Amino acid sequence: MRVLGIETSCDETAAAVVDGDRPTGARILGEAILSQHEEHRPYQGIVPEIAARSHLQHVDRLVAEAMDKAGVGFADLDGIAATGGPGLIGGVIVGVMSAKAMALVHGLPFLAVNHLAGHALTARLTDDVNFPYLLLLVSGGHTQLLIVEGVDDFTRLGTTVDDAVGEAFDKSAKMLGLGYPGGPAVEAAAARGTPGGFDLPRPMLGRPDCHFSFSGLKTAVRRQAEAIGEDQVDDLCASLEQVIGEVVADRCQKAIDEFRDRHPTGNTLVVAGGVAANRTLRRYLHETAADMDMRLIAPPPKLCTDNGAMIAWAGLELLRLGLTDELDFKPRPRWPLDPDAPPAHGAGVKA
Ligand code: KG4
Ligand code: ZN
């Protein structure tokens, strides 16, 4: 089975062809990606209108490039997948409309992929992970712990009551004048600095549930940013990374306990989403997993940040189960993985 996947929900336009034939395992046959970082950099954040226009301008070329690299034509494909949400709606519409048009013209099934499921299922493409597993999803808009029991079967254990962890990186970077995108900039600065010299809060540490909170940390970074000189920015970034590593590891410990209550022999923790590219965070997660007899699966960094292969793969998983979509599918700006999850309440904060 071969599926073309298109990703346009945020600030990368990406396409890839993935082959899922057994017993050779899954393979990425060809991929192409265009990041819009330069276009958004002057604004130090993503401007939705610029993003949508850029996706529209480039998506056809990237699809052609991915298929060229894969050495396949439409006749060699079994389906066409696109991110159907959640995300910036203008961009999602561009990807969905392109995929629908190609599916219609070439008589192929269309698959609308939940972007978060794309991140969540990537470890099955890269490491052939079986269900069930515990998932830490850390991206620009989401911070969640979920039990994954099937392609479309997610139970949310925890979420953020305010900001996502990626926002903590991005907003801190902005306050510290490190530019956009923030996560990689903070990581680079932190690598030059020494952690420990700053008094930063560790929100939610030790709480009995699996939720997260990052807005207090952001406020603390702002206060420190106003007080320090340029020569201390690297050290502050190193401290920020350390604190994030500690709280995320603590929340994962709680989630591992809950996961084990439900699946006593479960032993896999998967980390996914753009922030999973962060090496300090990966180190903390490795330690936590090892301490708790779990194995950590962390896909290569370029498959943690947004890409086309994750959408092609998730589409392929849906196609195998016959879960195709109609051409009247409506793009979804919001699309929770676990629609039944109760709302999370923080320390006086409602989410
Ligand atoms: O998954 P993703 O590419 O897009 C969304 O779906 O949101 O995640 C983007 C987020 C941004 O907040 C970005 O700053 C963060 O991932 N990120 C990182 C790193 N690389 C990307 N955060 C920390 N360290 C990194 N190396
Ligand atoms: Zn993403």
* Residue nearest to ligand 1 atom 14, measured at CA: 183
Question: How many angstroms is it from 325 CA to the middle of ligand 2?
Answer: 21
Tens digits of residue pLDDT in 122-171: 999 999 999 999 999 999 999 999 999 999 999 999 999 999 999 999 99
pTM (predicted TM-score): 0.95
Residues 260, 249: Cα–Cα separation, whole Å:
16
Tens digits of residue pLDDT in 40-99: 988 888 899 999 999 999 999 999 999 999 999 999 999 999 999 999 999 999 999 999
Residues 86, 43: Cα–Cα separation, whole Å:
23
* Closest atom, ligand 1, to C-alpha of 119: 1
Q: Is 87 in the pocket of ligand 1 (CB under 6 A)?
A: no
* Closest atom, ligand 1, to C-alpha of 87: 6
Residue pair 349/216 in contact by the 8 Å Cβ criterion: no
Q: Which of 142, 167, 271, 305 best tests ligand 1's pocket when mutated (most atoms within 8 Å of CB)? A: 305
* Closest atom, ligand 1, to C-alpha of 165: 12
Q: Is 233 in the pocket of ligand 1 (CB under 6 A)?
A: no
